[in-house]
Chain A
Amino acid sequence: MTRNTDTGDDSGDAVTDGGVTEDASESGFSPIAALNDRFGSDFVESSQFWLPPFLLVGLFVYGAIIWNFLISLTDFSGFGNPNYGDLDLEMYTRALAESGFVDAAVNTFILLVGFTLVTLGLGLGLAILVDRNIRFENTFRTIYLLPMSLSFVVTAQFWAWMFNFNNGVINIVISSLGLGRVDWLGNPDIVLWAVMFALMWQFAGYAMVVYLAGLRAIPSEHYEAAKVDGASTVRMYWRVIIPQLKGSTISASVVLMVFALKAFDFLYSLVGGYRPPNGADILATKMVREAYANLNWAYASAIAIALFLMTLGIVGPYLYYQYNRGNL
């Protein structure tokens, strides 16, 4: 790590004291050189850039999760301070015994898997359509992606109206086709699928953009080779092109699943309050309701940990995949 001696002492900045130590280190031990030696060149000098952001993320993200876990072991109600002297797993056993929690966990899982699959499917379909040398490609792409710029709160307003029982577009259309009206948001067996549909509307454009980037990274020879082999278009996509989109599928799935976990904003705005339509409660909504409406903060923290573990189950393998590909 000799480079530090070149850069250390001429900057005139706060780091120069490092350089001074460096000069003296010829005769003895230099902690800065030792740190640089251990972690990487310029470790100490560059810390003025990375250290403040690292501290912020470390405290607000990882410190907060540990703190959250501690609170989940107390019986904190939200007033005053939690009693950290008396820790147990009571909130977790309570959660597992409560049907409301189990229902919310199951709904979270259904939404997660269902939403991700339908959105990936639609996004891939859109990407293939848009990628076929069409006219007005930019217009199509722009409009397909447009809902992504809206917030959950705005989207929820539109879909509350689309799903309206008496005057909503969907019921008007299906009743004019001679079918009966459906209580999309009021029927507990249906509401989760309705929510999934609205979320798909918002995020299909995102999946399209990811797949489009993936499609355009595939060399044209692959298309030509399939054509020379006499493969039909469907077969070409199924056997040659789609398998090469694995990377796009993986990154898009992770992001979509995390959006599904964040669907709280959507459900809150759909009804303008903490209680989503009956049958659409997910861990994200239950957690916020327990904390800020029911004042069960320790219980809410335990639900938050369950949600965090679900996220970890998704993000952990993703990180491992990225690491193996050399992206970390």
Chain B
Amino acid sequence: MSDDARTDGGTVSETSAGASDGALSGVDGYRVLLYLGLLGMLAFFLIPIESGLVTSFKTSSGVTGSLPFAPPTGGTFTLGKWQAAFDALGRGLVNSALYAIPATVISALLGSFAAYGITQSDWKPKYKAPILALFVAGIFIPYQAVLVPLSQFWSMVPIEESLGFLWSLGINDDYVGIVELIVTHVAYGLPICTVLFRSYYKNMSGEMIEAARLDGASIRRIYRRIVLPLSGPMFAVVLIYQFTQIWNDLLFTLVLVQTESSAAAPIVLILAGLGTSLEGQDFALRMAGAFIAALPTLAVYIAFGEEFAEGVAT
């Protein structure tokens, strides 16, 4: 079914596949082995997901009493764990969307600004290389290296005082963490956004921009009228990549929201503790929760697989 959904990718593969075809056509047994390998890998990637899915529909006795990859039979089928997982994670879905969507959009826009500024300014190479190096290195910084100062920083910023109008709309103090998460994810998403846009703008045709420049258009005008309208495909890649990263990140939510019992707890934070306790683990609940938490990024992946692949490959 996904073949039908994304036939556009097919053209790319067909043209290049012709190249390697000559080198390996011939032996039929060889093709059989090839497809066996491909199917074996398919099983490798799907079994954990399949096992999780069937388990999420089992009662507790069904989980212990049946094979982990066998569907629930007879009286062991239940939707109860999905119901329980949704009750636990529902508010997390909303909370995650509250910061993931704005942070994604803002970081993509700012990344586009930075990349445009760098290309527009035509920095001299001896300054450009170190600055780009700082941005590229910024992509790889482990978040642990900034956690303690980040906590210190946010404890010093009076968010309640400056954004009091939000609180008067009925949002409570728990949501301070959401505001912090937006700014934090924007700042740490900026390096990758900038680098992605920069490689795109570097290859963008300079003729129109040069002509506009000669006509006396300002830098802002060139961005608004020429660069931004041409940036659509890269925005798609960056938005999808950033949304997945921000939605999936646990560490910042753990540090900035801190407790899964907070009214503003993001979904990953609730999921990380779901179904685990000292008395034992409820795997059916954990699996149902995993699927609910994965739904938004899975939906994005199924709808925009090509852009997603491009984002991760770049």
Contact = CB atoms under 8 A, between A and B. Distances in A.
Interface string B267-284: 010011111100001010
A68 interface: yes
B308 A57 contact: no
A153 B268 contact: yes
B175 interface: no
Interface stretch (B72-80, B145-153, B164-172): B145-153
Interface residues of B, number: 124
Interface string B1-35: 01100110110110011111111100000000011
Contact of B313 (A39, A172, A209, A219): A209
B86 interface: no
B204 interface: no
Interface string B188-202: 101100100000000
Contact of A160 (B19, B281, B298): B281
Nearest to A14: B220
B90 to A, nearest CB: 17
Given A143-B42, A151-B250, A162-B51, A49 B137 contact: no
B67 interface: yes
Contact of B268 (A142, A151, A223): A151
Interface stretch (A26-34, A93-101, A281-289): A281-289
A286 B93 CA distance: 29
Interface residues of A, number: 125
B81 interface: no
Interface of B: 2-3, 6-7, 9-10, 12-13, 16-24, 34-35, 37-38, 41-42, 44-49, 51-52, 55, 63-64, 67-69, 110-111, 113-114, 116-118, 120-124, 127-129, 131-153, 184, 186-188, 190-191, 194, 213-214, 216-221, 223, 244, 247-251, 254-255, 258, 268, 271-276, 281, 283, 286-287, 289-290, 293-294, 297-298, 300-301, 305, 308-309, 312-313
Interface of A: 3, 6-7, 10-13, 15, 38-43, 45-54, 56-57, 59-65, 67-68, 71, 81-82, 126, 129-134, 136-154, 156-162, 164, 166-169, 172, 201, 204-206, 209-210, 213, 216, 219-220, 223-224, 226-227, 233, 236, 254, 258, 261-262, 264-265, 268-269, 271-273, 283-284, 287-288, 291-292, 297, 300-301, 303-305, 307-308, 311, 314-315, 319, 322-323, 328
